[in-house]
């Protein structure tokens, strides 16, 4: 499985609900949302998540994997993500889950 995120910005002055000012690779200061997508090796979408615009990308991968595993009753899977997703905390969570054989 491959997981990645992107941000979608809004040309709006105010933050509401999910629309929050957060880190923007484009250096924008508009409210945005963070969207994550989990796909299989052929690129078929399996699960998606929508998060507040001020949520760090690294804080989205564990919830989306848990959500997918719970929905499909899957424990075994291989996840590929870019280096930005693989924070020390996430790597720890992956290692602990692997040792336990589940989340």
Query: pTM for the whole thing?
Result: 0.81
State the virtual CA torsion across 47, 50, 55, 59 in degrees, nearest 10. Answer: -10
User: What does the mean pLDDT of the chain come to?
Assistant: 89
Instruction: pLDDT band for 97, please (50, 70, 90 cuts).
Output: confident
Region 79-96: what's the mean pLDDT? 87
Region 15-22: what's the mean pLDDT? 89
Q: Residue 2 pairs with which residues in a beta bridge?
A: 39, 80
Q: Give the HSE-up count for residue 102: Cα atoms under 13 Å, Cβ half-sphere.
A: 6
Domain extent, residue 71, equals 2-100
Query: How many structural domains does the chain have?
Result: 1
pLDDT value for 103 = 65
Region 31-53: what's the mean pLDDT? 94
Residues 6 or more apart from 20 whose CB is under 8 A from it?
31, 32, 33, 52, 53, 54, 55
Mutual angle of helices 61-72 and 88-100, in 10-degree steps: 30
């Amino acid at each position: 499985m491959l997981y990645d995120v992107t941000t979608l910005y809004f040309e709006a002055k105010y933050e509401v609900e999910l629309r929050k000012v957060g880190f923007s690779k484009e250096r924008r200061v508009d409210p945005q949302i963070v969207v994550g997508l989990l796909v299989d090796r052929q690129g078929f979408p399996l699960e998606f998540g929508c998060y507040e615009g001020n949520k760090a990308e690294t804080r989205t991968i564990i919830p989306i994997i848990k959500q997918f595993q719970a929905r499909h009753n899957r424990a075994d899977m291989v996840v590929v993500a870019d280096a930005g997703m693989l924070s020390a905390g996430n790597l720890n969570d992956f290692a602990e889950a692997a040792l336990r054989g589940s989340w």
